[in-house]
């Protein structure tokens, strides 16, 4: 007895033999892309190469604090106290 769908779908697997591997290849590419993107952000945040990202968490915190001081949001005593805390908690790579 022949199937009403014709030869490509014999046994019910015809196109699924192609679609299943393509699906898994797409999933692997997606996971690799997202992982690479996350790794780059983490690497840059931990003081990666200056040409890539160009900022570190300590420098960003210091510049934000300097901006707040320049705008008058905090006074000099608070600025110096917070700057000391930021620099004391910075990793040796960020100093």
> Taking all residues of the chain, what is their mean pLDDT, rounded to a whole number?
76
Q: Report the 10 Å Cβ neighbour count for 27.
A: 10
Confidence band for 84, pLDDT divided at 50, 70 and 90: very high
Token pair 């997202």: residue: 34
- How many other C-beta atoms lie within 10 A of the C-beta of residue 68? 14
Where does the chain have alpha helices with state H? 16-45, 57-71, 76-89
Distance CA 69, CA 82 (A): 11
**What does the pLDDT look like over 26-64, one tens digit per residue?**
999 999 998 888 877 776 666 655 444 444 455 588 888
**pLDDT at position 4 over 70:** no
């Amino acid at each position: 007895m022949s199937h009403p769908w014709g030869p490509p779908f014999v046994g019910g697997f015809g196109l699924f033999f192609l679609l299943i591997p393509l699906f898994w290849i797409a999933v692997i590419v997606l996971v690799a892309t997202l992982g690479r993107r996350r790794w780059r952000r983490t690497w840059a945040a931990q003081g990666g190469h200056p040409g890539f990202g160009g900022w570190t968490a300590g420098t960003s915190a210091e510049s934000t604090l300097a901006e707040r001081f320049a705008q008058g949001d905090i006074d000099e005593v608070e600025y110096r106290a917070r700057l000391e805390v930021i620099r004391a908690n910075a990793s040796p790579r960020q100093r």
